[in-house]
């Protein structure tokens, strides 16, 4: 684990969202590791995933880890709706709770760009990378600010979610809480009143995110991750992840993910052609959300992209390095991405 | 389509369930097509699937269809909880609605056996076959009454559900309705009050039952089935299937499916060794619920079984013959099963 750092807040002021709202006193949370060098050319931006927090990404950061703070200045930016940045759970009326405005991934990236340029005066990022919804942010970065990014890596992600993935977001993330008896249009008094819905989210995730065969009697992959039964895995991994979340915050993140599109409804192939970064498109075998064949197709649409498939028993969850093999595979691919 | 026949009811009297309850005036619904020949050796038993009804299976029945009523006497038996047989929705107190007792697949098969032997005086069935939960009944038949079955066919099924499948039943079928604000422990006054939950069931089914790639932009498999969008498919196929259902009936069917096990918690491999029928284990490529590799393993545990994999773009849904190719593939395998 890296040295402890604290979450910081960048004041964005009154921030104009692409959805036609102005968010007063908007905030972007972030953490950093390491130091920006005098040339300001050692910065890595690593946005996080849906429901996640920077801490989850710190497994890759540390001395002798792929993202070494002795060498790199690593910025872990938040996104709107993550509970630390401006979110339904921490915003004043009229934009509190169920009335928090729709935001787009593009808004997050614009806010992150302001952080990078205004706070750190960085002109070029050595690397932008992200997993899952972090990868959606990476694509938005690579298309929107092509001259600012030297390297980019999408890890189990896509420029825009597939029809299956948007159905997943609606079914796994939104419906279980929106249908909860305590939901009250998002104006609940206590997020824990909706923990039934949060647990149902966890169950649909447990059903759909591990790869086929994960639970099979003759494989029981969860054993290699330290769980003693399928339901122990569901409780201590999925429910433990979901129950502390704020439902409105999750809905905000889910809706922006569903709408993600670097071409804003235009020509996505043309948008991807604009990417100048040296890009790695990394996929995990058995990932139902971002299947390798789809990621491979994405890589073929980007001028300077390479496709890598990581063979794993963990599918979409490979990033979490729940097994030693996954940890090694993730380390290896990050090292390759950073190699010159 | 075959000639119209009506649903009939076999009175089972006071029926002792394997779960320790006696169901007073128990009923088993069934339909038949064709006539039993004098030798009583042309009977085919074709139990139906979860949430299904005999009508859905009639696509395979008719003159010049694989199950030709000029040649075969085809019995389409119900199961407890299907809404026609004894079910939460049609049973008197104290076993009405949310108080309907747990039943097992074995109870259905015992009731079906009584129908076959007491009503029709059949000593040997030419074929028992079923899809999905119908296949679970087929396995129970083949293990419980090995001397009565000449041929058996499991189509996209298993002797007992896998850990993924039991998680699916809990997550896709049970939780969406049990968590509905109108559920009231199963003592609702109108099943339609729970249609929000029924639609959420439909959405998890839409997410998990088509094969990977089904919704992909460059495949859009639903087009070949006559739908104009993903959400049109979800509405007119999945919601149309689920919304008319009675939630308690679905829960009854789901719970018995979760508990299905021809060895009753004993040695399943030994139980499968008892099967004497010539058996076909048919799997569909891309079926996440009953993956071909699992079905193949099942076939290897049965003395006289052959494994067949049907290549299809429809995965678990291939049985419905939603495309001409699926219809042809299903017809072909049924003809092979019936060939001497």
C-alpha span between A229 and A220 (Å, rounded): 8
How close A308 gets to chain B, by Cα (Å)?
20
| A273, pLDDT greater than 70 | yes
C-alpha span between A31 and A61 (Å, rounded): 12
With bands split at pLDDT 50, 70 and 90, how would you rate the model's confidence at B91? very high
Average pLDDT of chain A, as a whole number: 96
Q: pLDDT tens digit string along B46-56? A: 999 999 988 99
How close A333 gets to chain B, by Cα (Å)?
26
Among the partner residues B179, B215, B216, nearest to A200 by beta-carbon distance: B179
pLDDT of residue B5: 76
Beta strand A73-77 pairing with A22-33: antiparallel
Q: pLDDT tens digit string along A198-226? A: 999 999 999 999 998 899 999 999 999 99
- The set of catalytic residues of A is 132, 287, 316
With bands split at pLDDT 50, 70 and 90, how would you rate the model's confidence at A5? confident
Average pLDDT over residues B119-147: 98
Cα–chain-centroid distance for residue A260? 12
Phi, psi angles (nearest 5°) of residue B66: -55, -40
Q: Using a CB-CB distance cutoff of 8 angstroms, which residues of chain A are in contact with residue B176?
A: 179, 200
Chain A positions contacting chain B at CB under 8 Å are: 162-164, 167-168, 170-172, 175-176, 179-181, 196-197, 200, 203-204, 206-208, 212-217, 230, 234, 288, 291, 293-294
With bands split at pLDDT 50, 70 and 90, how would you rate the model's confidence at B1? very low
- Report which of A278, A277, A295 is spatially closest to residue A286, judged by C-alpha positions: A295
Chain B positions contacting chain A at CB under 8 Å are: 162-164, 167-168, 170-172, 175-176, 179-181, 196-197, 200, 203-204, 206-208, 212-217, 230, 234, 288, 291, 293-294
Average pLDDT over residues A310-322: 94
C-alpha span between A313 and A326 (Å, rounded): 8
C-alpha span between B17 and B24 (Å, rounded): 11
How close A232 gets to chain B, by Cα (Å)?
13
- B234 to chain A: nearest residue by CA? A167
How close A124 gets to chain B, by Cα (Å)?
35
pTM over 0.90: yes
Among the partner residues A163, A200, A215, nearest to B215 by beta-carbon distance: A163
Average pLDDT over residues B85-95: 97
Beta strand A43-45 pairing with A151-155: unpaired
- A234 to chain B: nearest residue by CA? B167
Average pLDDT over residues B167-175: 98
With bands split at pLDDT 50, 70 and 90, how would you rate the model's confidence at B309? very high
Q: pLDDT tens digit string along B57-76? A: 999 999 999 999 999 999 99
CB A203 to CB B164 under 8 A?
Answer: no
Q: Using a CB-CB distance cutoff of 8 angstroms, which residues of chain B are in contact with residue A217?
A: 162-163
Beta strand A73-77 pairing with A43-45: parallel
Q: What is the DSSP letter of A11?
A: E
How close A121 gets to chain B, by Cα (Å)?
40
Supply B99's token pair: 């108080």
Average pLDDT over residues A134-152: 98
Is B316 in the active site? yes
With bands split at pLDDT 50, 70 and 90, how would you rate the model's confidence at B312? very high
Q: Using a CB-CB distance cutoff of 8 angstroms, which residues of chain B are in contact with residue A179?
A: 176, 179-180, 196-197, 200
Q: What is the DSSP letter of B273?
A: H
Among the partner residues A162, A171, A291, nearest to B207 by beta-carbon distance: A171
A&B contacts, CB < 8 Å: 86
Asked if the interface predicted TM-score (ipTM) of this complex is over 0.85, the answer is yes
Average pLDDT over residues A112-126: 98
Phi, psi angles (nearest 5°) of residue A198: -65, -40
- Report which of B158, B143, B113, B157 is spatially closest to residue B277, judged by C-alpha positions: B143
pLDDT of residue A1: 47
pLDDT of residue B112: 98
C-alpha span between A145 and A149 (Å, rounded): 7
- Report which of B325, B309, B320, B337 is spatially closest to residue B138, judged by C-alpha positions: B337
Percent of chain A with pLDDT over 90: 96
C-alpha span between A138 and A158 (Å, rounded): 9
Cα–chain-centroid distance for residue A110? 16
C-alpha span between A314 and A224 (Å, rounded): 10
With bands split at pLDDT 50, 70 and 90, how would you rate the model's confidence at B4? low
Quick count: other Cβ atoms within 10 Å of Cβ B167? Answer: 20
- A194 to chain B: nearest residue by CA? B179
| A8, pLDDT greater than 90 | yes
Q: pLDDT tens digit string along B198-207? A: 999 999 999 9
Percent of chain B with pLDDT over 70: 99
pLDDT of residue B3: 58
Average pLDDT over residues A38-59: 95
Is B180 in the active site? no
Q: pLDDT tens digit string along B237-274? A: 999 999 999 999 999 999 999 999 999 999 999 999 99
C-alpha span between B81 and B250 (Å, rounded): 7
pLDDT of residue A4: 62
- A202 to chain B: nearest residue by CA? B171
């Amino acid at each position: 684990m890296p040295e402890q750092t604290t979450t910081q807040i960048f004041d964005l002021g009154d921030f104009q969202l692409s959805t036609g709202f102005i968010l007063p006193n908007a905030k972007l949370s972030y953490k950093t590791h390491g130091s920006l060098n005098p040339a300001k050319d050692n910065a890595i931006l690593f946005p996080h995933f849906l429901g996640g927090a920077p801490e989850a990404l710190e497994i890759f950061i540390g001395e002798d880890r792929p993202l070494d703070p002795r060498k790199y200045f690593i910025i872990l930016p938040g996104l709107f709706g993550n509970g630390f940045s401006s979110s339904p759970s921490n915003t004043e009326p009229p934009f509190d709770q169920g009335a928090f405005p729709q935001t787009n991934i593009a808004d997050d990236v614009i806010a992150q760009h302001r952080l990078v340029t205004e706070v750190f005066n960085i002109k070029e990022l050595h690397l932008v990378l992200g997993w899952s919804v972090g990868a959606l942010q990476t694509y938005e970065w690579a298309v929107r600010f092509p001259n600012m990014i030297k390297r980019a890596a999408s890890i189990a992600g896509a420029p825009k979610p597939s029809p299956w993935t948007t159905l997943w977001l609606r079914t796994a993330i939104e419906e279980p809480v929106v249908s909860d008896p305590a939901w009250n249009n998002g104006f609940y008094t206590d997020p824990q009143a909706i923990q039934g819905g949060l647990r149902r989210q966890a169950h649909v995730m447990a059903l759909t995110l591990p790869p086929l065969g994960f639970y099979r009697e003759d494989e029981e992959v969860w054993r290699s991750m330290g769980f003693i039964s399928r339901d122990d895995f569901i409780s201590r991994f999925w429910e433990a992840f979901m129950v502390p979340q704020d439902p409105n915050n999750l809905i905000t993140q889910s809706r922006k993910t569903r709408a993600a599109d670097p071409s804003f409804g235009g020509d996505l192939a043309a948008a991807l052609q604009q990417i100048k970064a040296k890009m790695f498109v990394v996929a995990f075998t058995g990932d139902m959300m971002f299947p390798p064949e789809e990621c491979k197709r994405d890589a073929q649409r980007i001028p300077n992209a390479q496709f890598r498939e990581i063979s794993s028993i963990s599918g979409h969850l490979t990033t979490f390095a729940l097994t030693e093999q996954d940890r090694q595979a993730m380390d290896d691919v990050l090292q390759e991405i950073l190699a010159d």
